[in-house]
Amino acid sequence: MNRASALAGNFQAGVRSPAPVRWPWVAALVVLAALLAFIAKGYVLFQGSMLLSYAIALVGLNLLTGYNGQISLGHGAFYAIGAYTTAILMDKGGVPYWVGLPAAGMVSLGVGYAFGRPALKLQGLYLALATFALGVVAPQLLKYKHLEPWTGGVGGIVLNKPEAPFGLPLSADQWFYLFTLAVTVVMFVLARNLIDSGSGRALRAIRDHEMAAESMGVDNRHHKSMAFALSAAFTGVAGALSALAVQFVSPDSFTMFLSISLIVGVVVGGIGTLWGALFGAAFIMFVPAVAEKVSKDAAWGVYGVVLILFIFVMPGGVMGLLNRVSDRIRRDDRR
């Protein structure tokens, strides 16, 4: 395996390698984000938690679409699976939220693998098609009457807000925001390690030239289905966090348009970038609210226009633009 990935790495040599992480900046960003818990309150903290949840989901989708080249238009379904797993476990099983969260990740991992395995046969466009169908069908499945004892049908499930443990002097909002932040940091570190590892290089090699990767000894089937599973797991964890933040799950929060939002976030943040997820999440969190002031339906119009504009004008997304700018500055410095 190691030799195979090394070879895949050589194959990749001409491609720009991921920029080294500047840890001091990351640490500063995390500290700043943590400080927000003590400055802002209530609704702002809720928005912060949702933003981080979207960011995790976008990292997940980007692992699959950006790094492995498999297009998914149905990741809202995995978001829903994560949310519902946590909600059902907490509501029916009485388990605490910090058990529900990893459980959501594991269930999504399993379902993602189960879907990704047959999807191995589907190339680009056909995968997009099948996942699109999955995204459209998801809310209908959640409403299914024989699942109603668990899912609560159209009415959904109401959840309790997690309280701060160990008698910490934090409000529930503050605690949950900090908890989400911690989960986000863990997920980002996991994603970064995966991308930098031999497996990550294999994923990119498959994206760039499937057959070449295979002939270099990369196990395409294994890597592609694991990429699908891991991507689903990230998105599932994100969905679980959103369920806890909203304290409510219902089928209509997970329509096709959620899946589309996730794709929008990936494109806006930058396809195949890790940190782009934060920009993408901010975009899908705040832009609809602004656009809705114009008209209730305008939000989607803005999404559509932005999607097409980004593909034509800024295919690298926000991160692509930032990288270009920083390259320019560095070159100017050297002169």
Query: Which residues sit at the interface with other proteins, rule CB under 8 A?
Result: 65, 69, 71, 73, 118-119, 121-122, 124-126, 128-130, 132-134, 136-137, 140-141, 143-145, 211, 256-257, 260, 263, 267, 271, 295-301, 303-308, 311-312, 315
Pick 21 or 298: Cβ nearer other proteins: 298
Nearer to other proteins among residue 151 and residue 180 (C-beta): 151
**Count of residues in the chain:** 335
The answer to whether the Cα torsion of 1, 197, 205, 78 is positive or negative is: positive
Question: Distance between CA 278 and CA 261 in Å, rounded?
Answer: 14
Q: How far is the CB of 227 from other proteins (least distance, A)?
A: 15
The CB-of-94 to other proteins minimum distance in angstroms stands at 29
Radius of gyration of the chain (CA): 20
The amino acid at residue 316 is G
Residue 158: name the closest of 77, 87, 253 by CA.
Answer: 87
Buried b (16+ CB within 10 A) or exposed e, 199-214: bbbbbbbbbeeeeebb
* Amino acid identity at 244: L
- Compute the least distance from the CB of residue 141 to other proteins, in Å: 6
- Our CB check for other proteins shows the closer of 41 and 209 to be 209
Which is nearer to other proteins, 47 or 255 (by Cβ)? 255
Tell me how far CA of residue 161 lies from CA of 87, 172, 201, 206, in angstroms. 12, 7, 40, 42
Instruction: For other proteins, give the closer residue by CB, 121 or 293.
Output: 121
**Closest distance of CB 291 from other proteins, Å:** 9
Copy the structure tokens of residue 72: 């998914």
User: Which of 33/130 has CB closer to other proteins?
Assistant: 130
Minimum Å gap between C-beta 208 and other proteins is 11
Query: In angstroms, rounded to a whole number, what is the distance separating the alpha carbons of residues 121 and 8?
Result: 22
Nearer to other proteins, 146 or 331 (CB): 146
The minimum distance between CB 176 and other proteins, in angstroms, equals 31
Q: Give the nearer residue to other proteins in terms of CB position, either 100 or 135.
A: 135
Structure tokens at 122: 């589907």
Least Cβ distance, residue 71 to other proteins (angstroms): 6
Residue 76 near residue 259 (C-beta atoms within 8 A): yes
Distance from C-alpha of 195 to C-alpha of 189, rounded to nearest angstrom: 10
Residue 158 pairs in a beta bridge with 248
CB atoms near residue 93 (< 10 Å): 10
Count of CB atoms within 10 A of residue 79's CB? 35
CB of 263 to other proteins, least distance (A): 6
